[in-house]
Amino acid sequence: MLEFARARLAQGTATIDFPPSDRGFPERFRGRPILECAGCTGGSCPDDLGTIPSRLLRTGQAPDAGTVLDMGACLFAPEEAVGSAGCGVSFTRDHRIASRTRGGLLTPTGLIEPLAALDERMRKLLGRSLRLRSVSAGSCNGCEAELTAASNVVFDMARFGIQFVASPRHADGIVVTGTVNANMRDALERTYAAVPDPRIVIAVGACAASGGPFYGSEQAGDGVPSSIPVDLWIAGCPPHPLTILDGLLRLLGRLDRGDRAPTAPPGP
């Protein structure tokens, strides 16, 4: 017991503030990507934009639609940062990369619309206590590792009333990771069906949004199928635990659009 007390004192308190007061991301951290294109008109951008080994850049359907960044397909790999200052893709150290819609992850510059919270009724139901069921469906286990880390003593998701539970019957929603391949599709749909209404769905990681690094594989999926309506898309490969926390808290309306402390939970 004495040893325990000594260890407890030595370890101190590891839980970090959220939103983080000093973000503390190292210089090389690759957060939200941005696309700068100064003065190039359709098609005259540097050639190496075409060498990106992911589907990060998408060319619009219309001839003048230009190029957009798809953060749902971003693998946050150094190879995706191409071009030069003023014209190209680079990574910022901003960890906040989430959207309520899949289309919201597509932007011409890399700026994402501020994430709108759930409606008032859902916030009242879930704002102070959100129970989630994790469904891993054709992933590499990277996103799952970060979901686990989000619950550890450092990020301590439970302090905001968010917890992972053991059964869909106990859950308010599911968190889907992975490409949703053929072998997992049925299990995912059945798990979703087992969650009582009202329920939410959160898609975490590049695989769940776009197939991630496995795009084009016949054996992998393209992400969460349209049969499952997604309420929140969190980008990353895998997303940092703070990215996950940020997305969830904004969804619950517990963060303002800026980076101030969490607002008081709604209702009594």
Which positions lie near other proteins, rule CB under 8 A?
3-4, 6-8, 10-11, 14, 25-26, 28-30, 51, 53-54, 75-79, 91, 133-149, 151-154, 164, 166-168, 178-179, 181-184, 187, 191, 212-214, 216-220, 237-238, 240
Nearest approach in angstroms of CB 79 to other proteins is 5
**Closest to other proteins by CB, 123 or 240:** 240
Token look-up 């949703």 returns 180
Nearest approach in angstroms of CB 163 to other proteins is 11
Tell me the C-alpha distance between 160 and 264, whole Å.
11
Tell me the C-alpha distance between 174 and 168, whole Å.
8
Tell me the C-alpha distance between 139 and 176, whole Å.
10
Nearest approach in angstroms of CB 105 to other proteins is 19
**Closest to other proteins by CB, 72 or 253:** 72
Tell me how long the chain is.
268
Nearest approach in angstroms of CB 142 to other proteins is 3
Tell me the C-alpha distance between 30 and 34, whole Å.
11
Nearest approach in angstroms of CB 257 to other proteins is 27
Residue-by-residue DSSP string for 57-118: EEE-SSTT--EEEETTS----GGG--EETTEEEEE-S----EESSSGGGEESSSPPPPPPPP
Question: Kind of pairing, strands 87-91 and 83-84?
Answer: antiparallel
Nearest approach in angstroms of CB 33 to other proteins is 12
Tell me the C-alpha distance between 217 and 28, whole Å.
30
**Closest to other proteins by CB, 126 or 180:** 180
**Closest to other proteins by CB, 83 or 138:** 138
**Closest to other proteins by CB, 138 or 253:** 138
